[in-house]
Structure 1
Amino acid sequence: MTSASDEKTGQNHIQGLERGLAVLQAFDAEHPNRTTTELATATQLSRPVVRRILLTLQRLGYVATSDGQWTLTPRVLSIGQHYTATHALTELAQPHLMRLAEQTSESSTLATLDGNEVVYIARMPVRRVLSVTVAPGTRVAAHATSLGRVLLAWESTERIERIITESGLPSLTPYTVTDPVQFREILSTVRHQGWSMVVSEREEGLISLSAPIRDHHGHVIAAVASSTSTGRASPKGLREDVVPVLVDTAKRISRDLGNHVPGVPLT
């Protein structure tokens, strides 16, 4: 007898995805190269089905073929890389976030860019910052946050233009920058000074500062932020007192990721 739970599971089941993963998993250290027939035997799928899956994976860049043999491409590493990198970064950054929160007496946050949005992946709370919810997993539009601007500042011009075109620059408060020309100028300033400050653009009274985190290649892969309110601090005071601490924190996390940052002690 089929239960309601079983029926629901069946309705949510994507057979094509399951078969695609089965084909990918059929490659291993002992069988790095396989023919379509061998893959069909290994997965117990029909040869025409396996061929369609392989052609799809080839178009996406995950497999390649030569002389009738199929093989995985290095792109498959990206599937696990995002999970590994994100979780390793979160664990590595926790003591730095704690130290930043202690030094500033304000909450600290770690985030990455996913598509057109900022995704918070770690947070060290000190006190509630206005009504903004920033628990890990929270997603927000990138354009109106200091984190988003840091993460976008070192992106390609094409990526920035695509985000402006696809998502626009919607107004979240009366202070949100919505003009594309002004937004591009702000990103240029962020690149030049190495950090970002946003005041009342996501929520009135909220001030956030962010700095970039770089991997061992020097690529910006995440950003760290410190948040407060206009009732507790002024932009001028934050620029003088918090920005140096924030930038130093970002450099220390980057150093731990293998990025050589001049001026940061190794102890």
Structure 2
Amino acid sequence: MMSLARGLVVIRAFSAERPNMTVSQISQKTGIPRAAVRRCLYTLDKMGFVASVDGGAFNLRPRVLLLGHGYFASSSLSQAAGPILNRLSGPLDESSSVSVLDGDEILYIARAQTKRLMAMHLDVGSRLPAIYTSMGRVLIASLPYHEQEQYMARAKYIQYTPHSLTDATALAQELEQIRAQGFAVIDQELEAGVRSIALPIMGRDGRPMSAMSVGVHAQRMSIDDMKEKILPALQEAATELTILSKTL
């Protein structure tokens, strides 16, 4: 099924930063020969998943959302999290989310968005680098040590902001602190002006199943205030989802 695998890789090559890509650009990003990329794009175009634009580039079409619709429509965890997030975000007037660990990224599976908009638009299906998010870190910190080491070994350290951690030693210390205290806080490491706090949702097998977080603007709330005002409500919501998830 090499053709199927290549087609999926081609689809994943598109991103918010590169919504339009040529055959050569996709080939360079994926490592797939240009002739094979061209064949994939031809088939995807016929199926309505991509379309050609000016200059010989291609972009994704709305039909590609069908590939993920089945998962979200059938995901019991996603459906269960929605009402809990709404009850959490309402009184706080802050956005909240639930995500799962997918490779080296987190995948948002449920979200309650308030009217307070942040620069980074996030919705169900959004992906972010796990080590630079509170949900990603709390999930990694909850894994067995040998799995944590695998993440550390392949982590890509990027200076997104002046606050971003950029070395393995600092990340290891941070994960150890998260493991000890049971929650993670990110202070403007991925996006300037944004702080978030997260808790793990543990499964029946004792492994982290997902994570729940609340994000705030740094100017509105300090880290101490987050721990005092948001953490108790987040703990209550996470406990509710943990109990509910074990009945799904």
Same fold (TM over 0.5): yes
Which residue matches 1:197?
185
Cα shift at 1:167: 3.3
Q: Which residues of 2 match residues 110-149 of structure 1 at below 5 A?
A: 110-149=98-137
Whether 2:217 is the aligned partner of 1:183: answer: no
Whether 2:43 is the aligned partner of 1:9: answer: yes
Corresponding residue to 2:195 among 204, 207, 231: 207
Deviations 1:42-86 (A, max 9, x none): xxxxxxxxxxxxxxxxxxxxxxxxxxxxxxxxxxxxxxxx94897
Q: Percent identity?
A: 29
Distance change in 2, residues 1:185/1:129 (3 Å)? farther
SS at match of 2:75: helix
Cα shift at 1:177: 1.0
Distance change in 2, residues 1:255/1:176 (3 Å)? same
Which residue matches 1:237?
225
Taking the aligned partners of 1:256 and 1:233, their CA distance within structure 2 comes to: 30
Corresponding residue to 2:147 among 156, 159, 170: 159
Deviations 1:19-38 (A, max 9, x none): xxxxxxxxxxxxxxxxxxxx
Tell me, yes or no, if the aligned pair for 2:131 and 2:155 is still in contact at 8 Å: no
Tell me, yes or no, if the aligned pair for 1:129 and 1:228 is still in contact at 8 Å: no
Tell me, yes or no, if the aligned pair for 1:195 and 1:247 is still in contact at 8 Å: no
Deviations 1:147-193 (A, max 9, x none): 11011111233332332332322221110111211211111111111
Deviations 1:87-118 (A, max 9, x none): 10010111110011012110111101000001
Distance change in 2, residues 1:96/1:183 (3 Å)? same
Aligned residues: 185
Q: TM-score, normalised by structure 2?
A: 0.68
Which residue matches 2:80?
92
SS at match of 1:101: helix
Tell me, yes or no, if the aligned pair for 2:94 and 2:116 is still in contact at 8 Å: no
> What residue ranges of structure 1 are gaps of 5+ in the alignment?
1-6, 14-81, 260-267
> What residue ranges of structure 2 are gaps of 5+ in the alignment?
1-40, 48-69
Cα shift at 1:121: 1.1
Amino acid at match of 2:131: H
Runs of 4+ in 1 over 6 A off after TM superposition: 10-13
Distance change in 2, residues 1:171/1:12 (3 Å)? farther
Q: TM-score, normalised by structure 1?
A: 0.64
Distance change in 2, residues 1:198/1:12 (3 Å)? same
Taking the aligned partners of 2:92 and 2:243, their CA distance within structure 1 comes to: 21
Bigger radius of gyration: 1
